Amino acid sequence: MTHAPLRLTLDGDALVANWRWLDARSGAAACGAAVKADGYGLGAAEVTRRLAEAGCRDFFVATWAEAEEILPLLAEGASLSILHGVAEEDLAQAAGSRARPVLNTPRQVARWKEAAPGRPCDLMIDTGIGRLGLSPGEAGSGLLDGLVVDTVMSHLACADEDRAMNAAQRDAFAAAAGTLRARRLSLANSAGICLGRDYAFGLTRPGLALYGGVPRREAEGHVRQVARVEAQVVQRKRLPAGATVGYNATFTAAAACDIAILNIGYADGYLRGFSGRGSALHGEAVLPVAGRVSMDLTAVLADAAPGLREGDWVELVYDLPAASAQSGLSQYELLTTLGRRHARTWR
Protein backbone atom coordinates (compact mmCIF):
# COMPACT_ATOMS: atom_id res chain seq x y z
CA MET A 1 0.00 0.00 0.00
CA THR A 2 1.33 3.45 -0.92
CA HIS A 3 2.33 5.52 2.09
CA ALA A 4 0.26 8.66 2.69
CA PRO A 5 1.84 11.34 4.91
CA LEU A 6 -1.61 12.72 5.80
CA ARG A 7 -4.32 11.03 7.86
CA LEU A 8 -7.99 11.87 8.27
CA THR A 9 -9.52 9.88 11.13
CA LEU A 10 -13.31 9.93 11.09
CA ASP A 11 -15.39 9.09 14.14
CA GLY A 12 -18.49 7.15 13.07
CA ASP A 13 -19.87 7.05 16.61
CA ALA A 14 -19.68 10.85 16.82
CA LEU A 15 -21.43 11.18 13.46
CA VAL A 16 -24.32 8.99 14.61
CA ALA A 17 -24.49 10.69 18.02
CA ASN A 18 -24.74 14.06 16.31
CA TRP A 19 -27.60 12.83 14.11
CA ARG A 20 -29.42 11.39 17.11
CA TRP A 21 -29.15 14.69 19.00
CA LEU A 22 -30.50 16.56 15.97
CA ASP A 23 -33.26 13.98 15.60
CA ALA A 24 -34.31 14.45 19.22
CA ARG A 25 -34.12 18.22 18.81
CA SER A 26 -36.41 17.94 15.77
CA GLY A 27 -39.26 16.69 17.95
CA ALA A 28 -42.01 14.92 16.01
CA ALA A 29 -40.42 15.85 12.67
CA ALA A 30 -38.33 13.28 10.82
CA CYS A 31 -34.62 14.13 10.74
CA GLY A 32 -32.82 13.69 7.42
CA ALA A 33 -29.22 14.26 6.39
CA ALA A 34 -27.54 16.45 3.79
CA VAL A 35 -24.77 14.32 2.29
CA LYS A 36 -23.99 16.62 -0.66
CA ALA A 37 -20.41 17.64 -1.53
CA ASP A 38 -19.25 14.08 -0.82
CA GLY A 39 -20.70 14.10 2.68
CA TYR A 40 -19.26 17.58 3.34
CA GLY A 41 -15.86 16.25 2.33
CA LEU A 42 -15.82 13.20 4.60
CA GLY A 43 -17.12 10.59 2.14
CA ALA A 44 -20.79 10.45 1.20
CA ALA A 45 -21.02 6.68 0.93
CA GLU A 46 -19.63 5.96 4.39
CA VAL A 47 -21.67 8.78 5.95
CA THR A 48 -24.87 7.55 4.31
CA ARG A 49 -24.30 3.94 5.31
CA ARG A 50 -23.76 4.82 8.96
CA LEU A 51 -26.69 7.20 9.19
CA ALA A 52 -29.02 4.78 7.40
CA GLU A 53 -28.07 2.07 9.90
CA ALA A 54 -28.86 4.55 12.71
CA GLY A 55 -32.36 5.11 11.34
CA CYS A 56 -32.07 8.09 9.00
CA ARG A 57 -34.45 7.72 6.04
CA ASP A 58 -34.22 11.03 4.14
CA PHE A 59 -31.06 12.12 2.33
CA PHE A 60 -30.18 15.17 0.24
CA VAL A 61 -27.55 15.78 -2.44
CA ALA A 62 -27.07 18.67 -4.84
CA THR A 63 -26.85 16.96 -8.24
CA TRP A 64 -27.81 13.79 -10.10
CA ALA A 65 -24.13 12.92 -10.44
CA GLU A 66 -23.96 12.68 -6.64
CA ALA A 67 -27.07 10.50 -6.55
CA GLU A 68 -25.39 7.59 -8.34
CA GLU A 69 -23.23 6.78 -5.33
CA ILE A 70 -25.98 7.17 -2.74
CA LEU A 71 -29.00 5.37 -4.21
CA PRO A 72 -27.60 1.80 -3.99
CA LEU A 73 -27.06 2.32 -0.26
CA LEU A 74 -30.68 3.22 0.53
CA ALA A 75 -33.17 0.60 1.65
CA GLU A 76 -36.75 0.40 0.49
CA GLY A 77 -38.68 3.29 1.98
CA ALA A 78 -35.68 5.63 2.24
CA SER A 79 -35.63 8.70 0.01
CA LEU A 80 -33.10 10.84 -1.81
CA SER A 81 -33.83 14.40 -2.95
CA ILE A 82 -31.78 16.24 -5.59
CA LEU A 83 -31.64 19.85 -4.41
CA HIS A 84 -30.71 21.47 -7.72
CA GLY A 85 -33.72 20.03 -9.49
CA VAL A 86 -33.65 18.61 -12.99
CA ALA A 87 -31.88 20.08 -16.01
CA GLU A 88 -32.63 18.99 -19.57
CA GLU A 89 -29.45 16.92 -19.50
CA ASP A 90 -30.63 15.07 -16.36
CA LEU A 91 -33.92 13.81 -17.74
CA ALA A 92 -32.79 10.42 -19.00
CA GLN A 93 -31.38 9.55 -15.58
CA ALA A 94 -34.03 11.31 -13.51
CA ALA A 95 -37.11 9.88 -15.22
CA GLY A 96 -36.06 6.34 -14.34
CA SER A 97 -34.69 7.04 -10.86
CA ARG A 98 -36.37 6.62 -7.50
CA ALA A 99 -34.68 9.83 -6.36
CA ARG A 100 -36.84 12.96 -6.46
CA PRO A 101 -35.90 16.29 -8.01
CA VAL A 102 -36.49 19.40 -5.92
CA LEU A 103 -38.14 21.63 -8.54
CA ASN A 104 -36.92 25.21 -8.29
CA THR A 105 -38.08 27.03 -11.43
CA PRO A 106 -41.15 27.15 -13.71
CA ARG A 107 -39.09 25.52 -16.46
CA GLN A 108 -38.13 22.65 -14.16
CA VAL A 109 -41.80 22.20 -13.25
CA ALA A 110 -42.80 22.06 -16.91
CA ARG A 111 -39.92 19.74 -17.73
CA TRP A 112 -40.89 17.28 -14.98
CA LYS A 113 -44.57 17.31 -15.90
CA GLU A 114 -43.70 16.41 -19.47
CA ALA A 115 -40.93 13.88 -18.80
CA ALA A 116 -42.35 12.08 -15.75
CA PRO A 117 -46.10 12.67 -15.43
CA GLY A 118 -47.42 11.40 -12.13
CA ARG A 119 -43.94 10.79 -10.68
CA PRO A 120 -43.32 12.31 -7.22
CA CYS A 121 -41.16 15.39 -6.84
CA ASP A 122 -40.23 17.94 -4.18
CA LEU A 123 -40.53 21.72 -4.39
CA MET A 124 -38.38 24.60 -3.18
CA ILE A 125 -40.01 27.93 -2.33
CA ASP A 126 -37.80 30.99 -1.91
CA THR A 127 -38.99 32.79 1.22
CA GLY A 128 -36.12 35.27 1.36
CA ILE A 129 -32.71 33.69 0.86
CA GLY A 130 -32.72 34.78 -2.78
CA ARG A 131 -31.20 31.59 -4.14
CA LEU A 132 -33.05 28.64 -5.66
CA GLY A 133 -36.81 28.32 -5.47
CA LEU A 134 -40.16 29.34 -6.83
CA SER A 135 -41.60 32.56 -5.48
CA PRO A 136 -44.71 32.16 -3.28
CA GLY A 137 -46.67 33.80 -6.09
CA GLU A 138 -45.45 31.27 -8.64
CA ALA A 139 -46.22 28.40 -6.28
CA GLY A 140 -49.78 29.62 -5.80
CA SER A 141 -50.49 30.49 -9.42
CA GLY A 142 -51.69 27.11 -10.64
CA LEU A 143 -48.26 26.33 -12.09
CA LEU A 144 -48.05 23.24 -9.89
CA ASP A 145 -51.39 21.75 -10.86
CA GLY A 146 -50.97 18.09 -11.73
CA LEU A 147 -47.76 17.55 -9.79
CA VAL A 148 -47.44 14.83 -7.17
CA VAL A 149 -45.51 16.63 -4.44
CA ASP A 150 -43.83 14.74 -1.64
CA THR A 151 -42.02 17.54 0.23
CA VAL A 152 -42.24 21.33 0.02
CA MET A 153 -39.03 23.01 1.22
CA SER A 154 -37.58 26.42 1.86
CA HIS A 155 -34.21 27.49 3.24
CA LEU A 156 -33.36 29.87 6.07
CA ALA A 157 -30.94 32.68 5.28
CA CYS A 158 -29.85 33.74 8.78
CA ALA A 159 -30.59 30.84 11.11
CA ASP A 160 -27.09 31.00 12.63
CA GLU A 161 -27.91 34.51 13.93
CA ASP A 162 -30.69 35.94 16.09
CA ARG A 163 -32.50 37.84 13.36
CA ALA A 164 -36.15 38.81 12.85
CA MET A 165 -35.81 37.36 9.36
CA ASN A 166 -35.91 33.84 10.80
CA ALA A 167 -39.47 34.16 12.08
CA ALA A 168 -40.48 36.10 8.97
CA GLN A 169 -39.27 33.27 6.74
CA ARG A 170 -40.94 30.65 8.93
CA ASP A 171 -44.26 32.46 8.71
CA ALA A 172 -43.94 33.10 4.97
CA PHE A 173 -43.16 29.43 4.40
CA ALA A 174 -46.12 28.26 6.47
CA ALA A 175 -48.43 30.61 4.55
CA ALA A 176 -47.15 29.61 1.11
CA ALA A 177 -46.95 25.89 1.80
CA GLY A 178 -50.39 25.89 3.37
CA THR A 179 -51.93 26.49 -0.06
CA LEU A 180 -50.21 23.43 -1.56
CA ARG A 181 -50.90 19.73 -1.40
CA ALA A 182 -47.83 17.87 -0.16
CA ARG A 183 -47.00 15.02 2.18
CA ARG A 184 -44.47 17.00 4.22
CA LEU A 185 -42.98 20.45 4.82
CA SER A 186 -39.28 21.08 5.47
CA LEU A 187 -37.51 24.30 6.46
CA ALA A 188 -34.81 23.77 9.09
CA ASN A 189 -31.13 23.08 8.47
CA SER A 190 -28.73 22.46 11.39
CA ALA A 191 -29.04 26.02 12.70
CA GLY A 192 -32.78 26.00 12.06
CA ILE A 193 -33.16 22.92 14.25
CA CYS A 194 -31.48 24.88 17.05
CA LEU A 195 -34.04 27.67 16.68
CA GLY A 196 -36.76 25.42 18.08
CA ARG A 197 -39.54 23.09 17.07
CA ASP A 198 -41.57 25.88 15.47
CA TYR A 199 -39.08 25.59 12.62
CA ALA A 200 -39.08 21.79 12.33
CA PHE A 201 -42.37 21.26 10.42
CA GLY A 202 -42.43 17.63 9.19
CA LEU A 203 -38.81 17.09 8.14
CA THR A 204 -35.48 18.67 9.06
CA ARG A 205 -32.38 18.71 6.85
CA PRO A 206 -29.21 19.01 8.95
CA GLY A 207 -25.80 19.17 7.34
CA LEU A 208 -23.01 20.98 9.21
CA ALA A 209 -23.85 19.74 12.71
CA LEU A 210 -23.77 16.11 11.57
CA TYR A 211 -20.10 16.52 10.78
CA GLY A 212 -19.03 18.31 13.96
CA GLY A 213 -19.92 21.90 13.14
CA VAL A 214 -21.59 24.04 15.81
CA PRO A 215 -24.09 26.26 14.00
CA ARG A 216 -25.49 28.04 17.07
CA ARG A 217 -24.81 28.24 20.80
CA GLU A 218 -27.65 25.78 21.52
CA ALA A 219 -25.53 23.01 19.96
CA GLU A 220 -22.45 23.68 22.07
CA GLY A 221 -21.61 20.68 24.21
CA HIS A 222 -23.91 18.42 22.20
CA VAL A 223 -22.19 18.18 18.81
CA ARG A 224 -19.04 16.08 18.78
CA GLN A 225 -15.96 16.40 16.57
CA VAL A 226 -16.04 13.91 13.69
CA ALA A 227 -12.90 14.65 11.63
CA ARG A 228 -9.34 14.69 12.98
CA VAL A 229 -6.49 15.74 10.69
CA GLU A 230 -2.93 14.50 11.18
CA ALA A 231 0.23 15.24 9.21
CA GLN A 232 3.70 13.77 9.24
CA VAL A 233 6.81 15.78 9.98
CA VAL A 234 9.06 16.06 6.92
CA GLN A 235 11.91 17.90 8.66
CA ARG A 236 12.87 19.43 12.00
CA LYS A 237 15.42 22.21 12.00
CA ARG A 238 17.00 24.87 14.20
CA LEU A 239 16.64 28.50 13.14
CA PRO A 240 18.94 31.27 14.35
CA ALA A 241 17.51 34.55 15.61
CA GLY A 242 16.49 36.74 12.68
CA ALA A 243 15.79 33.85 10.29
CA THR A 244 12.53 33.94 8.35
CA VAL A 245 10.05 31.21 7.43
CA GLY A 246 7.93 30.75 4.35
CA TYR A 247 6.85 32.82 1.38
CA ASN A 248 7.18 36.57 1.74
CA ALA A 249 9.08 36.07 5.01
CA THR A 250 6.05 36.87 7.16
CA PHE A 251 7.58 35.14 10.21
CA THR A 252 10.89 36.23 11.70
CA ALA A 253 12.44 34.34 14.62
CA ALA A 254 12.88 36.73 17.55
CA ALA A 255 15.28 34.23 19.09
CA ALA A 256 16.80 30.93 18.07
CA CYS A 257 14.02 28.34 17.79
CA ASP A 258 13.11 24.94 16.39
CA ILE A 259 10.53 24.47 13.66
CA ALA A 260 8.93 21.35 12.22
CA ILE A 261 7.88 21.25 8.58
CA LEU A 262 4.62 19.37 8.13
CA ASN A 263 3.50 17.49 5.04
CA ILE A 264 0.28 19.50 4.64
CA GLY A 265 -0.75 22.68 2.84
CA TYR A 266 -3.58 24.43 1.11
CA ALA A 267 -3.74 21.74 -1.60
CA ASP A 268 -4.82 19.42 1.21
CA GLY A 269 -7.49 21.77 2.54
CA TYR A 270 -5.29 23.33 5.21
CA LEU A 271 -5.89 26.78 3.80
CA ARG A 272 -3.89 30.00 3.94
CA GLY A 273 -6.22 31.39 6.58
CA PHE A 274 -4.25 29.31 9.09
CA SER A 275 -1.05 31.22 8.26
CA GLY A 276 0.34 32.56 11.53
CA ARG A 277 -2.90 31.59 13.31
CA GLY A 278 -3.36 27.83 13.25
CA SER A 279 -1.69 25.28 15.49
CA ALA A 280 -0.85 21.61 15.80
CA LEU A 281 -0.67 19.26 18.78
CA HIS A 282 1.98 16.75 19.76
CA GLY A 283 0.75 15.16 22.94
CA GLU A 284 0.03 18.09 25.25
CA ALA A 285 2.36 20.44 23.39
CA VAL A 286 0.78 23.21 21.26
CA LEU A 287 2.78 24.05 18.13
CA PRO A 288 1.76 27.37 16.50
CA VAL A 289 1.92 27.79 12.73
CA ALA A 290 4.91 29.94 11.74
CA GLY A 291 4.65 31.94 8.52
CA ARG A 292 2.47 31.25 5.54
CA VAL A 293 0.83 27.95 4.72
CA SER A 294 2.06 26.92 1.27
CA MET A 295 0.68 24.44 -1.23
CA ASP A 296 2.11 21.28 0.32
CA LEU A 297 3.94 22.35 3.48
CA THR A 298 3.28 24.14 6.75
CA ALA A 299 5.85 25.15 9.40
CA VAL A 300 5.11 25.02 13.13
CA LEU A 301 7.17 26.16 16.10
CA ALA A 302 8.47 22.99 17.77
CA ASP A 303 10.35 24.07 20.92
CA ALA A 304 7.43 22.89 23.08
CA ALA A 305 7.91 19.34 21.74
CA PRO A 306 11.61 18.49 22.15
CA GLY A 307 10.95 14.83 21.34
CA LEU A 308 9.29 15.52 17.99
CA ARG A 309 11.32 14.06 15.13
CA GLU A 310 11.23 13.65 11.37
CA GLY A 311 8.61 11.02 10.51
CA ASP A 312 6.52 11.65 13.64
CA TRP A 313 2.87 12.67 13.42
CA VAL A 314 1.10 15.73 14.76
CA GLU A 315 -2.61 16.52 14.92
CA LEU A 316 -3.77 19.80 13.44
CA VAL A 317 -6.26 21.69 15.61
CA TYR A 318 -9.38 20.99 13.54
CA ASP A 319 -12.22 21.09 16.01
CA LEU A 320 -14.45 23.10 13.70
CA PRO A 321 -15.44 26.03 15.94
CA ALA A 322 -11.86 26.43 17.19
CA ALA A 323 -10.34 26.05 13.73
CA SER A 324 -12.85 28.54 12.33
CA ALA A 325 -11.88 31.08 14.99
CA GLN A 326 -8.18 30.51 14.29
CA SER A 327 -8.37 30.79 10.52
CA GLY A 328 -11.28 33.12 9.83
CA LEU A 329 -12.75 30.42 7.56
CA SER A 330 -16.30 29.13 7.90
CA GLN A 331 -16.84 25.70 9.38
CA TYR A 332 -18.33 24.65 6.02
CA GLU A 333 -15.14 25.60 4.15
CA LEU A 334 -12.99 23.74 6.65
CA LEU A 335 -14.85 20.50 5.93
CA THR A 336 -15.51 20.65 2.22
CA THR A 337 -11.98 21.66 1.18
CA LEU A 338 -10.23 18.68 2.77
CA GLY A 339 -8.12 17.17 0.00
CA ARG A 340 -7.84 13.72 -1.47
CA ARG A 341 -4.27 13.12 -0.30
CA HIS A 342 -5.48 12.23 3.19
CA ALA A 343 -5.70 8.54 4.01
CA ARG A 344 -9.24 8.30 5.37
CA THR A 345 -10.00 5.89 8.19
CA TRP A 346 -13.38 5.43 9.88
CA ARG A 347 -13.53 4.10 13.40
The catalytic site residues sit at: 36, 247
Task: Report the alpha-carbon distance of residue 183 to residue 206 in Å, rounded.
Answer: 19
pLDDT of 1: 72
Question: Where do the domains of the chain lie?
Answer: 12-213, 227-318
Write the pLDDT tens digit of every residue in 246-297. 999 999 999 999 999 999 999 999 999 999 999 999 999 999 999 999 999 9
The answer to whether residue 201 scores a pLDDT higher than 80 is yes
Coil, helix or strand for 1?
coil
Q: State pLDDT tens for residues 314-345.
A: 999 999 999 999 999 999 999 999 988 999 99
* Confidence (pLDDT) at 327: 93
Q: For all residues of the chain together, what is the average pLDDT? A: 96
**CATH code of domain 227-318:** 2.40.37.10
pLDDT digits (tens, 9 = 90+) for 168-200: 999 999 999 988 999 999 999 999 999 999 999
Give the per-residue pLDDT at 193.
98
CATH T-level assignment (fold) for domain 12-213: TIM Barrel (3.20.20)
Q: Which amino acid is at 208?
A: L
User: Given this chain, do its domains 12-213 and 227-318 carry the same CATH topology?
Assistant: no
Residue 125 CA: distances (Å) to CA of 76, 101, 154, 170, 294: 28, 14, 5, 12, 42
Task: Please name which of 257, 315, 252 lies closest in space to residue 283, comparing C-alpha atoms.
Answer: 315
Pairing of strands 79-82, 100-103: parallel
CB 21 within 8 A of CB 222: yes
CA pair distance 285, 304, nearest whole angstrom: 6
> Model pTM?
0.95
